[in-house]
Amino acid sequence: MTIFQERLYLIFTGIFIAALVSCNLIFQKFFTWSALGISDFFVLSVGIIAYPITFIVTDLISELYGSRRANQVVLAGFFASVFTTILIYVAIAVPTADISPLESVTFKKVFGLSGPAFFGSMAAYLTAQFIDIRIFHFWKRLTEGKYLWLRNNASTMCSQFVDTSVILLILCSVGVIDWALFSSLFWKGWLFKILVALIDTPIIYFFIWLLRDKIQPVSHLEEN
């Protein structure tokens, strides 16, 4: 593998980890988005803006470098998230100086992540990402490397269904979210992710076209 390919892989990995860690840092702000003629149809955490980036990156790495490299990035993202959470808890625990512009209560409210929320987030993340990679390569083998749009959308839509289900089931089970909200949050959350998946397809094609002379995508025969 060339130096350019290795450097690009590191850039993809950095973007993936930055997007993943950002999700857990910014998730407490919510936004609204009108759709289907209904005002405020979506009421979602801003974390959902950063999270789909991770699936774009894993699909690009899967296509260009193969499943093994994609799985490595997923695991790196998991350990980065755990390490970041540990650092946040340490920052919350240390005494606040009088000159601090941010008091302890506000700092904890903004950056603190409850145990159940973090567990749910990581369980959903690992399950969905590994499913995304597996389905992506299943379709790549089945279509003999053709129809990138199919494997990109099929893998993301299926994995996001699992991601949305797992995290809501965990958060509802431990009382963080009321069960009465499950159906609405699930369908609206998954629909939003499907829309993002459809939007990111041209992005995938653009990067593959841009890198066509620099990186030869891994053949479906070379995956294992």
| pLDDT computed for residue 194 by the predictor | 84
Asked whether the predicted pLDDT for residue 223 surpasses 60, the reply is: no
Could you read off the pLDDT of 143-174 as tens digits, one per residue? 888 888 899 888 988 988 988 888 888 878 87
Burial class (CB in 10 A: 0-12, 13-18, 19+), 199: exposed
pLDDT in tens, 83-128: 998 898 899 899 998 898 888 888 888 787 666 677 778 888 888 8
Of all residues in the chain, the percent with pLDDT exceeding 70 is 90
CATH architecture assignment, domain 3-32+43-210 = Orthogonal Bundle (1.10)
Q: How far is the CA of 216 from the CAs of 5, 13, 144, 170, in angstroms?
A: 10, 19, 16, 41
Query: pTM here?
Result: 0.84
pLDDT of 1 reads 66
The residue with greater pLDDT, 27 or 160, is 160
Amino acid letter for position 140: K
In whole angstroms, what is the distance from residue 184 CA to residue 55 CA? 23
Nearest to 219 by CA among 72, 66, 4: 66
What is the pLDDT, as a whole number, of residue 114? 65
Given a cut of 70, is residue 219 above it in pLDDT? Answer: no
Residues 20, 81: contact at Cβ < 8 Å? Answer: yes
Distances (CA, A) of 86 to 22, 29, 32, 79, 150: 15, 21, 31, 11, 39
Q: What is the pLDDT of residue 187?
A: 85
Domain boundaries, the chain: 3-32+43-210
Find the mean pLDDT for residues 38-46: 70
Distance CA 67, CA 134 (A): 8
Tell me the one-letter amino acid at 221.
L
Rg for the chain, CA atoms, rounded: 19
d(CA 158, CA 23): 20
Nearest residue to 170 via CA among 120, 113, 118: 120
By the 10 Å C-beta count (0-12 exposed, 13-18 middle, 19+ buried), 104 is classed as middle
Nearest to 33 by CA among 42, 44, 24: 42
Does residue 159 contact residue 135 with C-beta atoms inside 8 Å?
A: yes
* d(C-alpha 46, C-alpha 48), whole Å: 5
